[in-house]
């Protein structure tokens, strides 16, 4: 494609965002933008990948067991993602930093003590901690990009309130592909080398529009009145809380900052992150790719578990009453297992210890809601479930994951609609998936296409080998 055509596709989207931004911006004139910093970092990383492949590309990365083919590819080395890496015993690190470290290092809102997700996004993309000025500029940029096309608003307004909020979320995100800068640039013949630029614009638009989508779904489904406008002088999480109708509770706004930060990314292999990467590898634009991620996140073994946990706790309370004894709780846990169901919020495909995201939420609860009766039940369950799962002897990890704790925090502030919880998870997960899509396009990640085998083929391979 000619560079003129590229400029028209990419820069048109950028110019309109900047023009909108200029209406709001007052302080960010001199800070280096995220896109400028990325443009500096990408060439060196392309060389780094080239050198790594040249040196190690033909080396074996360990054996593949037949069990891994049948067993959900657990532990199979298959993907590259630098943004976050999971250690089975320690939990997630974002660009090498643990959750307590990012809580300490990332910029905060004035008067706040939780990290701003704006900073986490910068960290995921660049490996660097941004300045206060840079996160403020990002908040303003997102505010400037936040409005929804009217047809997307109409799609949401026409959804029956009985349609699950995650299905509505995925519909709206998919429909945003109507205005994708990447799809347009591709149609105009953009060069591969430039893919990351319209992907960046789409990723920024995607994240920016999520509070309006989430707020609209929430108010449509649960009847919360008219949506307020995005406030360009406030951070992303404040605006999200405001659109949901909870910004008058400063602790809820702080909770959103923590929540969006810690749910954002969990290395590359989890269902939502991997789905986004897979679909993006076909050069489907970020809206299509993230719509697919959301459909994976909506499954009860993945993000929907946060809804399932609260439903399970409430069912337990209605069966055995509030302030039940440890024995009654233990018996209820056993009855769940005996009914052939999983205990939601416990176990993990990779982690083998209590999830540090659970611990971060527990710390928040100890600080803000230590006397909440449901928090007390969550603690009681924490003391009982691992022992039961160990005794049952199947789960490889008996400890709680992130989803075991989020519902009690949300419900404490009055966000009681459990079916909505995974939407908040999805808002956060966009930060990780979007970062990955930008880097995949910058590094020229190829179409994903692993090999599948039939059971007959597996038998034949080993029969031939032993013959």
Ligand X SMILES: CC(=O)SCCNC(=O)CCNC(=O)[C@H](O)C(C)(C)COP(=O)(O)OP(=O)(O)OC[C@H]1O[C@@H](n2cnc3c(N)ncnc32)[C@H](O)[C@@H]1OP(=O)(O)O
- List the interface residues with ligand OAA, window 306-325 (CB under 6 A): none
Considering the rule CB under 6 A, would residue 411 count as an interface residue with ligand OAA?
no
Least distance from C-beta 302 to ligand X, angstroms? 4
Q: What are phi and psi of 400, to 5 degrees?
A: -75, 150
Q: How far is the CB of 46 from ligand OAA (least distance, A)?
A: 28
Q: Provide, rounded to whole angstroms, the least separation between the CB of residue 418 and ligand X.
A: 14
- Dihedral (Cα; 308, 313, 315, 321), 10-degree rounding: 180
3-state secondary structure of 131: coil
Q: What does the alpha-carbon distance between residue 198 and residue 185 come to, in Å, rounded to a whole number?
A: 7
Give the residue, chosen from 134, 199, 397, 406, that forms a contact with ligand X under the rule CB under 6 A. Answer: 397
| Residue 371, helix vs strand vs coil | coil
**Binding flag, residue 76, ligand X (CB under 6 A):** no
Which position has the token pair 């079916």? Answer: 419
- The secondary structure of residue 394, as a DSSP letter, is -
Q: What amino acid positions are annotated as catalytic residues?
A: 302, 348, 403
| 298 sits near ligand X (criterion: CB under 6 A) | no
Distance between CA 116 and CA 139 in Å, rounded? Answer: 10
Given 264, 284, 401, 422, the residue binding ligand X (CB under 6 A): 401
The CB-of-248 to ligand X minimum distance in angstroms stands at 29
- Interface mask (CB under 6 A) for ligand X, residues 319-358, using x and -? ------------------x----xxxxxxxx---------
Give min distance, CB of 186 to ligand OAA, in A: 29
Fill in the DSSP letter of residue 11: I
Residue 261: other Cβ atoms inside 10 A = 28
For ligand X, the nearest residue by Cβ is 347
Distance (Å, rounded) from C-alpha 462 to C-alpha 314? 50
Nearer to ligand X, 319 or 394 (CB): 394
Interface with ligand X (CB under 6 A), residue from 396, 444, 458, 461: 396
Residue 397 binding target from ligand X, ligand OAA, none, CB below 5 to 8 Å by type: ligand X
CA atoms in the 13 A half-sphere facing the CB of 2: 3
Ranked by CB distance to ligand OAA, the top (closest) residue is 270
How many residues touch ligand OAA under the rule CB under 6 A: the total is 6
Q: Which residues contact 329 (CB under 8 A, 6 or more apart)?
A: 316, 320, 380, 381, 384
Q: Does 197 bind ligand OAA (CB under 6 A)?
A: no
Residues of this chain, 235-294, that bind ligand OAA according to CB under 6 A: 266, 270
User: What ranges in 159-270 are assigned the alpha helix state H?
Assistant: 165-175, 181-187, 196-222, 236-244, 250-262
- What is the binding site for ligand X (CB under 6 A)? 74, 301-303, 305, 337, 342-349, 394-397, 401-403
């Amino acid at each position: 494609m000619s560079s003129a055509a590229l400029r028209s596709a990419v820069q048109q989207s950028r110019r309109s965002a900047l023009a909108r931004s200029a209406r709001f911006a007052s302080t960010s004139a001199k800070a280096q933008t995220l896109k400028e910093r990325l443009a500096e970092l990408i060439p060196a990383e392309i060389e780094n990948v080239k050198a790594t492949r040249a040196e190690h590309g033909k080396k074996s990365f360990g054996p593949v067991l037949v069990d891994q083919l049948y067993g959900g590819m657990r532990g199979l080395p298959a993907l590259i993602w630098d943004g976050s890496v999971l250690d089975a015993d320690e939990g997630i690190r974002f660009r090498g930093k643990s959750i307590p470290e990012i809580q300490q290092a990332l910029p905060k809102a004035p008067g706040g003590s939780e990290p701003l997700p704006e900073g986490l996004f910068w960290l995921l993309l660049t490996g660097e901690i941004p300045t206060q000025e840079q996160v403020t500029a990002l908040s303003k940029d997102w505010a400037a990009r936040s409005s929804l096309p009217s047809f997307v608003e109409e799609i949401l307004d026409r959804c029956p309130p009985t349609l699950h909020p995650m299905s509505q979320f995925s519909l709206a995100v998919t429909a945003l592909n109507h205005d994708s800068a990447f799809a347009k640039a591709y149609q105009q013949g953009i060069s591969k080398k430039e893919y990351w630029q319209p992907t960046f614009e789409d990723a920024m638009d995607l994240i920016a529009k999520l509070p309006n989508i989430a707020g609209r779904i929430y108010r449509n489904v649960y009847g919360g009145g008219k949506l307020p406008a995005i406030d360009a002088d406030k951070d992303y999480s404040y605006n999200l809380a405001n659109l949901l109708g909870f910004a008058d509770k400063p602790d809820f706004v702080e909770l959103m900052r923590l929540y969006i930060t810690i749910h954002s990314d969990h290395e590359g292999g989890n269902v939502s992150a991997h789905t986004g990467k897979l679909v993006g590898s076909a050069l489907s634009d970020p809206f299509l790719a993230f719509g697919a991620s959301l459909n994976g996140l909506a499954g009860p073994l993945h993000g929907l578990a946060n809804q399932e946990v609260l439903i399970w706790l409430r069912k337990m309370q209605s069966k055995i009453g509030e302030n039940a004894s440890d024995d009654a709780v233990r018996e209820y846990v056993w009855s769940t297992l005996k009914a052939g169901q999983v205990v939601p919020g416990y176990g993990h495909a990779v982690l083998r210890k209590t999830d540090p995201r659970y611990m971060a939420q527990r710390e928040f609860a100890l600080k803000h809601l230590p006397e909440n009766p449901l928090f007390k039940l969550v603690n009681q369950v924490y003391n009982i479930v691992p022992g039961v799962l160990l005794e049952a002897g199947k789960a490889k990890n008996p400890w709680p994951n992130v989803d075991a704790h989020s519902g009690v925090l949300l419900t404490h502030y009055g966000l009681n609609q459990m079916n909505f919880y995974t939407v908040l998870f999805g808002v956060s997960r966009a930060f990780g998936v979007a970062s990955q899509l930008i880097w995949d396009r910058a590094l020229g990640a190829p179409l994903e296409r692993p090999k599948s085998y039939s059971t007959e083929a597996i038998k034949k391979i080993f029969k031939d080998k032993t013959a």
